[in-house]
Amino acid sequence: MAKRKTKFVCQECGYESAKWMGKCPGCNNWNTLVEEIEATNSRNSHFKGITKAGSKPERISGIESVEEPRIATSLRELNRVLGGGIVPGSLVLVGGDPGIGKSTLLLQVSAQLAEKEMPVLYISGEESTRQTKLRADRLGINADMLYVLSETNLFDITAQIEELRPAFVVIDSIQTIYKEEVSSAPGSVSQVRECTGELMRIAKTNHIPIFIVGHVTKEGAIAGPRLLEHMVDAVLYFEGERHHTYRILRGVKNRFGSTNEMGIFEMKEEGLREVMNPSEIFLEERSEGAAGSTVVASMEGTRPVLVEIQALISPSSFGNPRRMATGVDHNRISLLMAVLEKRVGLMLQNQDAYIKVAGGVKLDEPAIDLGVAVSIASSFRDKPTKPEDIFIGEVGLTGEIRRISRIEQRVQEAAKLGFKRVICPKNNLDGWTLPKNIEVIGVQSVQEALAISMEQ
């Protein structure tokens, strides 16, 4: 009898070793290597069947260009993030914290497609069919073409897909699905890799879009190997605070569209409701006349979003002042405070700084630098800015205000919401027609922007 070969696989990064080690050389995590039996017939099994056997290379000039038709859902925010709708034959991974609304969103999408007379198969490995029915009743879902299956065996799932031939499939979640040929437990690196590979083969060969739900680790990354994100066509993250009603669907990978798009939903008792104008939501509770509050215009894909940035600067009681940021990069805050101290003369080295983006949004583009810098200076001087002002611009290390992209869309969004004045880089004033219902002021330095914003 042949001796079974074993290997040790890291459950965080997928690193394989012939012997056990306490610390993984791949990701430097401790006690993550688990012994698994190496399958003799699993070599390249997750790539088998994706391409036709005996296919030959073709000249790219001779390949016919065909526009891939998309399946549009009733949720326009989801269509925006996906790049215009669901692409047939695509494999999409949806990740997010527990209880954030992943299953609710996919169940709503399944019901909407089923109401269009499209057979939809919702496979739940974590809930029974009765539990899924209870959630459907709460959401008001009762579509005849929506089929529910409670199964974790990949062979049985594949058989049901081949028999039903659905137009849309949901797997909730990939960590609960197992393949009998793989000896490791469900959720392990080998199981996730093999099951995802099999689902990818089904999606490509049958032209069926498949959405799979992925759990996340305590650091916020999708559990399992990074190979999981490389294999799928699109990766969507569902973000937001569990104690807030607003949820943000953000695309971090998309082979069929932009990765900068963002969709905003509001969690209601009857399910998720899309927010069509998020700027009004983020600014509705803004207090006018408060020092340290500014409004910035950030581009999320093709959509401008106006968000309030709040800063609180207070004298420090300790030797090392605190720097805390929510929604913006902590290192970016330290850089902007250093620019204000060196170029403007604000003594911030003995001040605690607390920066927050209202509404739970995460901003990472450089165009918000000017708004953050003005809010810090406003709180430090205890002088409020004008409530009808909006700030756009990137701040350089020498204190200059640098050019940013898509200035027209940002200014138009500000004018639509009733703002009277936009303070932006001076180099952005050329090459486009300035609107008449809002004043646009170009500045070249942080000092100039602070002088204009805090004039009484």
Q: pLDDT digits over 269-281, tens only?
A: 888 999 888 888 8
* The predicted structure's pLDDT at residue 217: 67
* The predicted structure's pLDDT at residue 183: 79
* The predicted structure's pLDDT at residue 219: 62
Task: Show binding-site residues for ATP.
Answer: 96-103
User: Interior CA angle at 236 toward 199 and 9, to 5°?
Assistant: 55
pLDDT of 334 above 90? yes
For 55-74, b where at least 16 C-beta lie within 10 A, e where not — what string? eeeeeeeeeeeeeeebbbbe
Task: Show binding-site residues.
Answer: 96-103
pLDDT of 49 above 80? no
Average pLDDT of the residues of the chain? 87
Structure token digits, residue 450: 């602070």
Report the chain's C-alpha Rg in angstroms: 26
Is residue 147 within 8 Å of residue 122, measured between CB atoms? yes
Q: How confident is the model at residue 220 (pLDDT cuts 50, 70, 90)?
A: low
- pTM above 0.85? no
Max mean pLDDT range (101-110, 181-190, 232-241): 101-110
Q: How confident is the model at residue 3 (pLDDT cuts 50, 70, 90)?
A: low
Q: What is the mean pLDDT of residues 123-130?
A: 93
Rounded Cα distance between 91 and 432, Å, is 41
User: Interior CA angle at 250 toward 76 and 218, to 5°?
Assistant: 140
Pick from 203, 415, 208, 402: which is nearest to 304 by CA? 415
% the chain with pLDDT above 70:
92
Is residue 133 within 8 Å of residue 157, measured between CB atoms? no
Residue that wins the pLDDT comparison between 245 and 446: 446
* The predicted structure's pLDDT at residue 248: 87
